[in-house]
Each structure stands twice: as C-alpha cells, then as structure tokens.
Amino acid sequence: MADKVKVTLNDVFYPESIAVVGASSDEEKERRGWTGNLLNFGYKGRLYPVNPKGTQVLGLKIYPSVTAIEEPVDYAILNVSASLVPRLLRECAAKGVKIAHVFTAGFAETGKPEGKSLQEEVKSIVEETGIRLIGPNCLGVHSPDGGMTFANLPKRSGPAGLISQTGAGVGRIVMYGSNRGIFFGKAVSYGNAVDLDSTDYFEMLVGDDQTQFIALYLEGVKDGRRFFNLAMRCLSLGKPLVMLKAGLTEAGREAALSHTGSLAGSEQVWEAFFAQTGAIRVYSLEEIVDQLVALEYLSPRPKGRKVAIIGRGGGPGVVATEMCERVGLKVPPFSPDTRAKLERITTESGSIARNPIEVGVGRAGAQQGYMDAFRIVADSPEIDIILTHVNPEAFVIYGGSPDWIDYSIDALLDIFKTLPKPIALVLTSGETPEGREIVLKAWQRCADAGLTVFRRYESAARVISRTVNYYEFRDRFVNYKD
C-alpha cells in the first residue's frame, strides 16, 4: 500500500506534460486520435505519444514505453485494450505519473466476470502504487485553458463547470451550451470512478475561482457526507449547483448500476439533499443547459415570481400563461396604472392591454409597439420578470416579411440591457427550412448579445421558476446565518 498521490485542480485540468499511451503510429489515424486532438486544441505542454511500434507521429517522437520518456510525465491517457491496462498502469506509476486517465471501457460496466475482475485489479494497483485514476470507461477532461479536450468541442472558456459520469452527456452539454452562450472552463467525464470520484472533482470546482456555476450529472456518490458539505459550501459561496441525479427510479437504479457500476441511492435521501442544499434539480441533459442559461443570463436577478408575458398570437399567450402558473410563476393582472399606459399604445390591429399582452401585427407592432410595451411593463412595480415570445416562422406560415423578426429582435437587443427587469425570450425552434434559417440567425444574435433565450415556453417557465426558487432559498440561508 502506498500513500495516494495528492492531486489538485491544476494536476487534473492543467498538466504540464501528457503521455498518450496507445497512440497510433499511423499519421492519419492519430490526427483524429488523442494526440491530434490535443495538438489541434492547442495543448501547450510536453506531449509524448507512446507505442512499442513506430518512431514519429504528427511531428512528435514516439516512445516505446512511458518509462522510456526522459523528462517527468504528469498525466497519462491510456487508450489500449482493457486487458493491457493493468500492466501499462503499473508502468505509469513506476515512471511517477501523477494521474492516469483510462479511456478504455470493458470493466465492471460490462457486468461480466472478466470486466469486474479487471476493475478490481486496476483498483488494487491504484492502492499499491498511489497513482491517481480518472475512469476507467470515460472521456476524461475538457479544459480549454489547459489545452485539453476529448472531442471536437469549442475552444472558448467560461465560468461554467461540469462533472459528468456519462461521456455522451458531457460532449452534448458542452456543445449545446456553446450555442447558448454557456462556456465551460472545466468539464470532466469520469466513468466508473474507481479512484477519483464525483466528490473529488466537485471539491476542485467549488474551490476554483474561474468556476461560477457547477453542473453535475451523477449516477452514484461514494462519500455522501462530504458531497453534502460541498453542496452547502456552494450555497455559501453563491455558486449555483445544477444537478441531474440519475438512478432514482427502480429501473434507473438498475441501469446506472450496469452503466458505471454505481449505487444510486434512494429518492428520499436525494429529495432531502435537494431540499437542504438548494441545489437545482433537473431531469434531462437539455435542461442542464437551459438552467445554466437562466442562471448566467437572467439579469438583473429576478426579485420575485411575477411575470409579464408579451408577444404575438393570442393562443400562444394563453398557453404560456398557464405553463408559467403550473410551475409556480405568477402572471398577475396589471395595475390600473400600467393598463392605462398600455392602452395608449394599443392599436386597432390587435394589441391587447392585459397580461399576457398581445402585440399588434405588422411592422409597427413588431417594433415600436413591442418596445413601448417592454418599457411600460419594466416600470410596473407589480412585475418581476418579462417573458416574451417571437415565432420566427410566422412569416412562413402567414406571409409578410421575414424582416419583422429582425425588427423584433432589433428592438429587444436595443433595449433589454437598459431595463430594470430581467427579460427572457422564447424563440420557438424552426420547423420549416425557411424558419430554421431565421431562427439560427436570431438565436446567434441573442446569444452573442447576452439575451436569455429559450426554445420552448415549457422549458423557459420551468428553469426560470427554479431560478427564482434558488435565489429565494439562498437569501433565506444567508439571512439565517447572519
């Protein structure tokens, strides 16, 4: 038994040297492999492809083994057959590698005896040698500032952090986030968690200044008490925690067990966890991104849950109202004062001065009427949040000019930062080819400008309601401590 190597955030996310064990000597193959990925992503440290065969790949010398490398090696990526992992892991430990990321699958998650015993062997090597392990059966680290990634993901860094037991999830979340203004400074897919566990990564991100929002996809947690304490520290620090806790239905528990060999825990225990820590519970990978958008971009912070709804289309306004109410937001009637002001801007073409507000059709409605309504509502003390909807396909369906969408978006982008209330836009997803073009353009403009945008009212209402709940919970917690 050796003492485990102490690892810090820097060791995981900014290693100074990386060995790629199992790099191909085939130039074309390795260009799409780990070595190529790191070079392409801008890794600035020392990089060592390792393979018993070959001499050089992508301009780098190939080493026959990790121990043949002359300089020290901080971090090794193992991309070899599962059966070779134990021997190569021992070599890494002998070389003094601090962290090995075992990409390879074929361990306990297979449910087969060979896989299980292979995982036990890996575990005992970690215990014997003290080397630290990411995985096995995982994609590992995405760290734009450290030049590390595992896929074709955006290079832009940001204040979001992600810890995910599923590799498929981490790629999607980072990718989807990048189209919504959510950028991850640090993300990790950690798979079977034979050594480093969710709680270890969680501790790193909680203590990291860059990371201001933490998202977790979890199947099992090993040290529940430590995990809970870290969640409470997030609350004190004001770092919102967004969590998808998987494996809490009977069938989900079985699935998690065979996916990563995790013990998922019980619904009751996790309900208590969410109730006590204020962690924001979500139920799908897409919702993780939606929730982060609300937390990062809904600004200024909503002071309450009273929503004004503004948009074209009577039925969609009614449906939106009910979606808000069903998730605990309020869509109150306007005060006589607000109503009188709104009535002054309504036209014969259909603007309606009630909540939900129906703005008039045509250019005047899309532009001037829209802006006026925002200004009036933003000044109304009975409203905390403004939700607006634009259907970019209206012109495809009803004729008219696609420019109307631009006018509405122009109007929104012109004024949203000057208003004293947070605004969120629901830009329904393009279902027609023409509509899709418009949506993409409008979506990108809004994301670039920092306007909060959602694709469906249902998602918007849910995540905004949870955001308000979170702030209320945090305020109570902070006041209680004082």
Using CB under 8 A, which residues numbered 8 to 47 contact a copy of itself?
Answer: 32
Instruction: Verify binding: residue 331, a copy of itself, rule CB under 8 A.
Output: yes
Nearer to a copy of itself, 34 or 416 (CB): 34
Instruction: Fill in the amino acid letter for 184.
Output: F
Nearest distance from C-beta of residue 391 to a copy of itself, angstroms: 7
Instruction: Verify binding: residue 337, a copy of itself, rule CB under 8 A.
Output: no
Instruction: Verify binding: residue 466, a copy of itself, rule CB under 8 A.
Output: no
Nearer to a copy of itself, 97 or 285 (CB): 285
Which of 8, 84, 283, 375: binder of a copy of itself (CB under 8 A)? 283
DSSP state of 180: T
Question: Which residues face 301 on adjacent strands?
Answer: none
Q: Which stretch binds a copy of itself (CB under 8 A): 18-26, 227-235, 307-315, 410-418?
A: 307-315
Could you give the CA distance from residue 287 to residue 462 in angstroms, rounded to a whole number? 9
Can you tell me whether residue 385 is helix, strand or coil? strand
Nearest to 37 by CA among 88, 77, 89, 65: 77
Instruction: Verify binding: residue 465, a copy of itself, rule CB under 8 A.
Output: no
**Which residues between 188 and 217 bind a copy of itself (CB under 8 A)?**
217
Could you give the CA distance from residue 193 to residue 137 in angstroms, rounded to a whole number? 9
Instruction: Verify binding: residue 57, a copy of itself, rule CB under 8 A.
Output: no
Helix or strand (DSSP H, E) at 362: helix 362-364
Q: Which stretch binds a copy of itself (CB under 8 A): 45-53, 150-158, 234-242, 271-279?
A: 150-158
The residues, ordered by sequence, that sit 6+ positions from 479 with a Cβ below 8 Å of its Cβ are none
Which of 69, 204, 246, 387: binder of a copy of itself (CB under 8 A)? 246
Q: Alpha-carbon torsion 51, 53, 57, 59, what sign?
A: positive
Instruction: Verify binding: residue 269, a copy of itself, rule CB under 8 A.
Output: no
Nearest distance from C-beta of residue 353 to a copy of itself, angstroms: 8
Q: Which stretch binds a copy of itself (CB under 8 A): 174-182, 224-232, 271-279, 402-410?
A: 174-182
Instruction: Verify binding: residue 285, a copy of itself, rule CB under 8 A.
Output: yes
Query: What phi and psi, each to the nearest 5 degrees, are found at residue 5?
Result: -60, 135
* Inter-residue contact 465 to 326 (CB < 8 Å): no
Q: What is the largest CA-CA distance in the chain?
A: 82
Instruction: Verify binding: residue 472, a copy of itself, rule CB under 8 A.
Output: no
Nearest distance from C-beta of residue 431 to a copy of itself, angstroms: 5
Instruction: Verify binding: residue 327, a copy of itself, rule CB under 8 A.
Output: no
For the record, the structure tokens of 175 come out as 């990718």
Instruction: Fill in the amino acid letter for 315.
Output: G
Q: Which stretch binds a copy of itself (CB under 8 A): 12-20, 91-99, 200-208, 395-403?
A: 395-403
Q: Which stretch binds a copy of itself (CB under 8 A): 10-18, 127-135, 160-168, 200-208?
A: 160-168
Instruction: Verify binding: residue 317, a copy of itself, rule CB under 8 A.
Output: yes
Question: What helix, strand, coil percent values describe the chain, rounded to 5?
Answer: 50, 15, 35
Nearer to a copy of itself, 327 or 415 (CB): 327
Nearest distance from C-beta of residue 178 to a copy of itself, angstroms: 9
* Inter-residue contact 63 to 49 (CB < 8 Å): yes
Instruction: Verify binding: residue 232, a copy of itself, rule CB under 8 A.
Output: no
Q: Which stretch binds a copy of itself (CB under 8 A): 8-16, 17-25, 165-173, 372-380?
A: 165-173
Which of 39, 60, 68, 151: binder of a copy of itself (CB under 8 A)? 151
DSSP state of 71: S
Could you give the CA distance from residue 353 to residue 358 in angstroms, rounded to a whole number? 7
Which of 248, 364, 413, 415: binder of a copy of itself (CB under 8 A)? 248
DSSP state of 352: B
Instruction: Verify binding: residue 125, a copy of itself, rule CB under 8 A.
Output: no
Could you give the CA distance from residue 175 to residue 157 in angstroms, rounded to a whole number? 12
Measured CA to CA in angstroms, residue 401 lies from 361, 371, 434, 438 at distances of 12, 19, 12, 12
Instruction: Verify binding: residue 99, a copy of itself, rule CB under 8 A.
Output: no
Nearest-5° angle of CA 453, CA 437, CA 315? 55
Which of 39, 68, 255, 413: binder of a copy of itself (CB under 8 A)? 255
Instruction: Verify binding: residue 445, a copy of itself, rule CB under 8 A.
Output: no
Q: Which stretch binds a copy of itself (CB under 8 A): 64-72, 122-130, 318-326, 465-473?
A: 318-326
Total residues binding a copy of itself (CB under 8 A)? 86
Torsion of CA 227, 231, 236, 240, to 10 degrees: 150
Nearer to a copy of itself, 206 or 246 (CB): 246
Could you give the CA distance from residue 147 to residue 18 in angstroms, rounded to a whole number? 11
Nearest distance from C-beta of residue 169 to a copy of itself, angstroms: 4
Query: What phi and psi, each to the nearest 5 degrees, are found at residue 463?
Result: -75, -30
